[in-house]
Chain A
Amino acid sequence: MSLRKIGLGVISALALTASMGLAHAKGDIIVAMQLEPPNLDPTSNAAGAIDSVLYSNVFEGLTRFGPDGSVNPGLAESWEISEDGKTYTFKLHEGVKFHDGTDMTAEDVKFSLDRARGDDSQNAQKALFAGIDGVEAVDPLTVKVTLKEPNGSFLFNMAWGDAVIVAPETIGDIASKPVGTGAFKFTNWVQGDRIDLEKNTDYWGEPAKLDKVTFKFISDPTAAFAAVMAEDVNAFVGFPAPENLPQFEADPRFQVLVGSTEGETILSTNNKLPPLDNIKVREAIAHAIDRQAIIDGAMFGYGTPIGTHFAPHNPDYVDLTSLSQYDPELSKKLLAEAGYPDGFTTTLKLPPPSYARRGGEIIASQLRAVGIETEITNLEWAQWLEQVFKGKDFGLTIVSHTEPMDIGIYARPDYYFQYDNPEFQKLIADLTVENDPEKRSALLKDAQETISNDYVNGYLFQLAFPTVADAKIKGLWKNQPTQATDLTAVYWED
């Protein structure tokens, strides 16, 4: 009897998979990612997962990032910059409608920018808007933005997910029912499981090729592997287990895209905590670290070594890895010079991603080799934010800084690693008002060298961004110039 039951079970399971296979129309896609957004308002929450779901799909800004990181026209089809570099006049696209059917006009742009830069703004990147002096709606399709100082990266700033255009009528419910102008409309959010989007048939630009998009959230690496293998999901962006990638590459059902990100993975160092406040000690740590071993051991070879807080694919990047080459003997010598011939003990607090947990064990072993003992504590993200990021209660930690062009955080003395160098702060202040591309480039290179020479943090590697997808899916972004899963150009190949 029990055998018959099993037989029935097998048959019904087969029938179920068969029917699921049939129902799978080519206009649908299920995209999985690791982290679920805490809410759906990109304009008032720092969580990158919000942009991963909504950027460009549901919300758009005046400008937008292309797959290569270039800044392209978004809702603004063109713009003029005044001679003194202080006034930007944006010409908006005609016929842009929000998903609720209302028109997107210059008033909405003014509302969005004023809301983001207002005193009570909850925007996570308020600095992007700090230079704005005034926003004026000249006519329904023209917006004039006046800056306090010329700002060379203003158009870049406007492409961020934090600078998307929202409507005053729907702002109240934005956290749970986002209404934007993008090629996809938000339909449903089942918390803890998935977010559904559908095609916006009234889209002003090139319409999306997919009819329905489902974002699924799978945090466990083992479950992620199983979901892709079983083809429960069509694509996994930011696949969490690099060790499984060769297996997917060998499987003709899948394609593996390993792209670059803006994620500088660093051994963040508390610059105010003795003995780490001693530059010699930080230099010793830098020379004790074997980057390639960390990339191989923690990321299975996926990652590019960096010697400063800057993305290697950026044209202004300077390769400074030679300043901190792996040299344990030099490291020991520096420790002795700093007054710690027998080393010291400090804490190493690790957030959940595998680059941190695995990288942490490797770094602990490398530091032990030169005499520095570390007490490893594994923390969940919430604890990490509380203890390390807010509380600054740490010696060392490993984290990937994924915001684009974020070297400016080193000019904030109260930032969690507490690097306080007036020279560097002046450098960044100069950079903000500099419009000349060549001078900007020189300043950026200066900035990279300054933090590298001060050994502020241990610079490990640029995080790779692996995407595993069904081999028939085309148009996915390979790189992550900003946190986004832009599906507007994605389609199924026949």
Chain B
Amino acid sequence: MSLLLHSRTLLPGLVLTLVFTGAALISLVWVPYDITVLDIASRMKPPSWVHPFGTDQFGRDILSMIMEGARTSIAVALVAVGIGMVIGVPFGLAAAVRKGGLMDEVIMRGNDLVFAFPSLLIAVMITAVFGASALNAIIAIGIFNIPVFARLTRGAALSLWSRDYILAARVAGKGQARISLEHILPNVANLLIVQGTIQFSLGILAEAGLSYVGLGAQPPIASWGRMLADSQTMISLAPHLALFPGLAILLTVLGLNLLGDGLRDALDPKLRRARV
């Protein structure tokens, strides 16, 4: 609790994140209106008590769309970050075992290769080749999370391998894999959590970007990026069509970034000591 109070960013970040995660979770069981049913007669209605965020160009309730869109965004970003971690972290751990070794070189040069491409461009390529869908968006975004986590893990792990307690573990007869898992991984976990939060927000942005150009989730699945794209030509007629999905993206990404910053402050032992 004192953590929350000490960090100026942690609390607002956490609140924003919880709001959108909550909206996504609620949409699993309940949304105000069924968004697969169009009601052309009541299209582009401004916000009112019946439709708090108004209705879109097909008469769908925008609040319901935002809630289901949150689910799409969060699901895509979460799985993509998951892919990045599950593949990237073992790579990083393996590379750090012997700096400059063959394994290290192969893994890190592979990383450089992926890093060398602008991520959104490759994501566009992947979805263009394999077809536009939420699944392909996940894969495309996930691939670019691999080197991020691999590098981070390797960097942090390298500095740990020279510590005395690692030496002690080796003397005790533990193998490299076991040391990596039992001693290195727990000590880099906080870094991974912070980075994961940041990558999560980037994933949401990437999903919105892909959907905006029509390469993300396809209709009738709701998606914030596509909502923005669809409302583009109507912005002077019905600004609320673009306002709410835009705000949703902004606030979610802001919330996750604040949360990431706050977590870093809270988990970093050096900063913690300075504060005390």
Contact = CB atoms under 8 A, between A and B. Distances in A.
Interface of A: 221-222, 225, 241, 243-244, 246-247, 293, 296-297, 358, 360-362, 364-366, 368-369, 376-378
Interface residues of B, number: 20
Given A297-B58, A362-B58, A247 B237 contact: yes
Given A293-B38, A293-B40, A368-B36, A361 B218 contact: no
Given A243-B233, A246-B237, A365-B220, 17 more contacts: A221-B233, A222-B233, A243-B237, A244-B236, A247-B236, A293-B40, A296-B40, A296-B41, A296-B43, A362-B38, A362-B40, A364-B220, A369-B37, A376-B219, A376-B220, A377-B132, A377-B218
Given A244-B233, A378-B132, A358 B57 contact: yes
A378 B214 contact: yes
B232 interface: yes
Contacts of B41: 296
A369 to B, nearest CB: 8
How would you classify the secondary structure of chain B's contact residues: helix, strand, loop or mixed? loop
Name the residue among B43, B58, B132 with the largest chain A CB count within 10 angstroms: B58
Contact of B218 (A293, A365, A378): A378
A365 B37 CA distance: 6
A297 B43 contact: yes
B36 A297 contact: no
B234 interface: yes
Interface of B: 36-38, 40-41, 43, 57-59, 131-132, 214, 218-220, 232-234, 236-237
B233 A241 contact: yes
Nearest to B238: A243
A360 B131 CA distance: 18
Contact of B232 (A222, A247, A358, A378): A222
Contacts of A225: 233
Contact of A243 (B38, B57, B218): B57
Contacts of B232: 221-222
B141 to A, nearest CB: 19
A434 to B, nearest CB: 42
Contacts of A241: 233
Nearest to B232: A222
A305 B121 CA distance: 42
Contacts of B214: 378
Nearest to A222: B232
Given A243-B234, A365-B37, A297 B220 contact: no
Contacts of B237: 243-244, 246-247
